[in-house]
Structure 1
């Protein structure tokens, strides 16, 4: 029930009716000139939300706002109380004192209605000698009070839409918004806070400005896809959100990831780096003569005067048949043995034929060097990979039969063995700064 405009005389008592219903049950509050109406002996808010004014005075005239609000929003209604001069005293019933009932016909006459407002406000201005009431102003001739268009004021009184009416104005909000308690500002309505189930069982509600959206509930390790209707796997390895150690291999799996070790290494335990496997300690022994362990592998060595065969494990004696010719002699002519076969990747292969007088008229030979070595003058010589090509992101250190990439201070070597990654000392080393200070990671260091 919205309050109606009422005209009374000083000393009358009047009730401005205002009732609101909703779920949750709304709270009704009365405002005058934008300020809450304070209860007194003459002004009281009735249990049904109406405002009771006892022994009305001339100063009680003006607009009154009834504001009903709950968790979902608010609604505002406005009524104008006109106090005319006179000596009448007694109880007043609003339905018996509606101003100027129209008895001449049922049609609405805009000019007559405007004249009624001018007469009412002019009488009030003359009897109270206080000028025009709130929401009105004197016309250009200074004879009548006319409505003032508050919506044309600057700054605008409403945050969104403003609606002017005789002696007052009201604000409204677009869909998805509700008026705040000031009756002028629009605030977003959180539809997701409603008890009603707006989304399906396998979805959750996300509030938006002026609206809401239902997104699917994704399991851990998944996220909402770009279409907003399905879930997609999160590749922790690609996004570097995994918890694998620096020398471990990250393998993405649906809904998670797996940390493993490269060949030649073994897992120590959760959150621990991979540990090199010493193949030289395994049984049976991998080499015929001597085994040299490397990070992630091993290399077999031969005694002086012998060379490593293509299996990378067995040694064979060498013969010197000339100053610069080294041969491996055989009793039979194995020409097919000289054909190039698929050597071990990265290895060096060399075959030759040596002619010399004597019962062994023809000697054939072939030798193969392991990876990281090259055959020079019949001897397997270490190859300096650091000079051959650019293998490392930063520094390269040659080792016997291999090479090693080095990183500057503050960086660690990635599992690729070639690239370096900055170390976040603030997180990994537990750096403790002084009082009122924070640790910031920088490239290769921190501050």
Structure 2
């Protein structure tokens, strides 16, 4: 609070010589200077003397013993008692200024005139005078001079105070009661739950609270894990869905199942072709794969009728088809070759005759009549592999040998499912 403080010029030092011709000296208080002509202490006008006495656009108001910096809006007026008063704004208590300069009594002949005491400032309610005779605001909240209830909070203001309820409460007479924030226009985007002194927001499934704790934002379930969907995860507001590639259909919520086009009739094979389904698609193969000098004897078996024409060739060729998933874990047993006819006094050996140039396969002999084809390297698809597996039969009693061939077509699908 701004105001004008009254300073009284006083006489402090009196040097009295025992001899009459010794000069008399005077001392003035701070803010005054001695006027030898009038023989009294004269006020120093700091507003004229100092160019930058006040800063920040404030106006300088001189008063006896000092000066005051007041806003431009401050009004100087004369009170009923003839005192000059500066009133900066309605919230400040007026402070009186002495109407005349204090006089410095002259000391002579060992006597001294004592100046009259200064006026005591009268402050408006809510303010009190300090030791400098300035009106200061009373903090009723700190001093306990308020009437707020035990559940209320006291806030000091200039010249007074106010009682308010804590956040989440409102005044009901002299008491504070809980505010039901969920009534009327709810602050929550989705669901609001009232609490004592507060509230809680919750979101629908598939959403989560944003940083403001009232808004709801979509949860991107697809970002949680690569295992949300077997093939592709599609996020949507509040949810997600799984999609499968062409040739597959969704099984359950996340798995992809191969579509058997050969069974559903959605293939494009001709009547003279056989439809063979594999993971992710289908292939069309001739119903009669036999070529001269071989003749078809069953659905997938070709034999050579003429010994002369088939000299040096397998006596029979069997066609087989299989499909595997791409990038299958290795090593893996994928196909077993078995002799259809078993003769006494014979010995059978097995080998991969063709189709293993990259070394993806290995043929492991089980017994005299069977062997297992082992996958040694992962196969990436979609790709077709044709492997010729040969069984050589040695006739021990008649001392001759014959062979038969199994032509295995392996189709690796485009995906690992």
Specify the TM-score bucket, using the shorter chain as the normaliser.
under 0.3
Q: Name the structure, 1 or 2, with higher relative contact order (CA <8 Å, separation 6+).
A: 2
The answer to which structure has the higher helix fraction is: 1
The answer to which structure has the higher strand fraction is: 2
Superposition TM-score, scaled by structure 2 size: 0.26
Superposition TM-score, scaled by structure 1 size: 0.25
